Amino acid sequence: MTIVKHELKQGVKAFAIWTFAIGFLLAVSIVLFPEMKEQMAQAGNMFASMGSFTAAFGMDRLDFSVYKGYYAVECANVLGMGGAFFSSLIAVGILSKEERDKTAEFLLTHPVSRVRILNEKLSSLVIRVLLMNLLIFAMSLGMTELIGEQIFWKEIILLHLAFTLMQLELTGICFGISAFMTRGSLGVGLGLAAIMYFLNIISNLADSVSFLKYVTPFGYCEGGDIVNDGLDAIKILIGLTFGALGIAAAYGKYTRKDIRA
């Protein structure tokens, strides 16, 4: 577990910053709801008449004047994008940084196999993603109690579970990408998360490209779908398969890779 502890210690600052930023934005959104309840009802009526724009952001199936609908939209915007960026960024450079920082020779000369290195680095990623989501979930429940709103247990658990699975999928994909890189690039992680987000928007705009919902993890994180119908097991299974393929690619490449110290 030495590598796990090292990775967690090395990434504690980034973890704290991202967790605080996402949690703070979500907390502010929750606190604003009592003041915006009436305005959100009017906004809901306005959005209902905006056709494709409303559908693009999955707002056509939610009532914004009700906390459940409001939360589903805010959670999607804040935890969805923030969590996607966080999980992609921490994973995309976790293997390639050893070459970038010239620490590969030190690491690989120790009596540890490459498989163990992969196992422990992957474990550190999963721990960070799960811990961040648990902290934000707990904060969300606390803030909901603070404003005096009823906690909709089923929906809020499913919403946060969907975003956690989405982040784990992106973690797996970016972990695989990291094995093929030699210097690391934060832009790749940010770009992948952004592309997945916009693919979901595009899939909402036209039925002819609705298949993209099975490509992007944001496809099974639609607040309206989750609140009204629950989780889509098929989309989640496909998404986790993509993540597993990324992890498999990492093991296949890294165990045979000629690593330059």
Lowest mean pLDDT among 24-33, 77-86, 111-120: 111-120
Residues 85 and 240 sit within 8 Å (Cβ to Cβ): no
Contact 230, 158 (CB under 8 A): yes
Confidence class for position 162, pLDDT limits 50, 70, 90: very high
Which whole number is the average pLDDT over 19-46? 80
Residue 109 token pair: 């000369």
Q: Contact, 155 vs 68, CB < 8 A?
A: yes
Backbone angles phi and psi of 58, in degrees to 5: 65, 30
- b/e map of 170-197 (b: 16 or more CB within 10 Å)? bbbbbbbbbbebeebeeebbeebbeebb
Helix (H) or strand (E) holding 234: helix 233-254
Whether residue 260 is predicted with pLDDT greater than 80 in this model: the reply is no
Instruction: Quote the pTM value.
Output: 0.89
Please state the rounded mean pLDDT for residues 211-235: 89
Higher-pLDDT residue of 261 and 69 is 69
Per-residue pLDDT reduced to its tens digit, 83-136: 999 999 999 988 877 666 555 555 555 667 888 889 999 999 999 999 999 999
Q: Do 79 and 160 meet the contact criterion of CB atoms below 8 Å apart?
A: yes
Share of the chain above pLDDT 70, in %: 83
Radius of gyration of the chain (CA): 20
